[in-house]
Amino acid sequence: MAGEQQQLPPEVWATFCSAINQDSVRSLINGAANGTQRGVKHLHLLFQSTGGNVSDGIALYNFLKTSPLEITLYNCGAVQSVAAIAYLAAKHRKTSARATFMYHRVTGTAQSVQAHRLKFLAKTVSIDDQRLESIMREHIDMPEENWASLDLSDLWFTAEEAVKAKIADEIGEFAPPVGSVLSNL
């Protein structure tokens, strides 16, 4: 029948290697929506990102957390900043043995900002920081001294440390079965 979309296998494999921004998040959501309409039940997603926009990262987190698809994310190299926040939302989280994760406080630039705008900037950075920390505390298990050090520096985790802190469920590689079609979202 004309206009009918071809069904896909129940498990699909795809990649996301991008900054977190409105376009990349829209592309990922559209890809997942298309998959659900074509019979996909489980998305295996290689996830590689150095981060990006806080609001877009939180939107991606919320989508991944409530998606009708079963989603497994794979950190194949580095998942950093707000991408590391979004990563926490997946039902299944795997990391390559040599991959890393990085979390940090929200940053904003105050160059050439008038005093009244500086107050606004401080408030928005504080709000974003609270949103990200609440997500992190919901998922990450680490000693209080590590939480305190987040105020002073970036927090880096090796794959083994990430599993111990419950950032990732296990060490495992993104390995689509032979014959799989690999899509880029």
For the chain, the C-alpha Rg in angstroms (whole number) is 18
Residue in the block written with tokens 């990391």 = 95
On the question of pLDDT at 158 being above 70, the answer is yes
Q: Which pLDDT band holds residue 1 (cuts at 50, 70, 90)?
A: very low
Q: 66-112: per-residue pLDDT in tens?
A: 999 999 999 999 999 999 999 999 999 999 999 999 999 988 666 66
pLDDT tens digits, one per residue of 6-32: 999 999 999 999 999 999 999 999 999
Please say if the pLDDT value at position 54 is more than 80: yes
- Rounded to the nearest 5 degrees, what angle is found at the Cα of 95, between the Cα atoms of 58 and 30? 40
In a domain, 101, yes or no: yes
Based on the number of CB atoms within 10 Å of its own CB, is 66 exposed (0-12), middle (13-18) or buried (19 or more)? exposed
Instruction: Name which residue leads in pLDDT, 110 or 172.
Output: 172
Whether 1 maps to a domain, the answer reads no
Q: What is the pTM of this model?
A: 0.91
Q: CB-side exposure of 30: number of CA atoms within 13 Å?
A: 9
From CA 89, how far away is CA 92, in angstroms rounded? 9
Domain holding 73, by residue range, is 11-184
The reported pLDDT for the residue numbered 124 is 85
Band of residue 185 on the pLDDT scale cut at 50, 70, 90: confident
Q: Is residue 3 included in any domain, yes or no?
A: no
Query: Which helix (DSSP H) or strand (DSSP E) does residue 136 occupy?
Result: helix 115-139
Predicted local confidence at residue 4, as pLDDT: 67
Whether 54 is covered by a domain: the verdict is yes
Residue 155 is assigned to a structural domain of this protein = yes
The answer to whether position 32 is within a domain reads: yes
Residue with tokens 């900037």: 121
Q: How many domains does the chain have?
A: 1
Q: What is the CATH number of the domain that holds 146?
A: 3.90.226.10
4 or 43: whose pLDDT is higher?
43
With a cut of 50, say whether residue 46 has pLDDT above it. Answer: yes
Burial 137-154 (b: 16+ CB within 10 A, else e): eeebebeeeeeeebeeee
Q: Which H helix or E strand runs over 47? A: strand 42-49
- Measured CA to CA, the distance from residue 138 to residue 33 in angstroms comes to 27
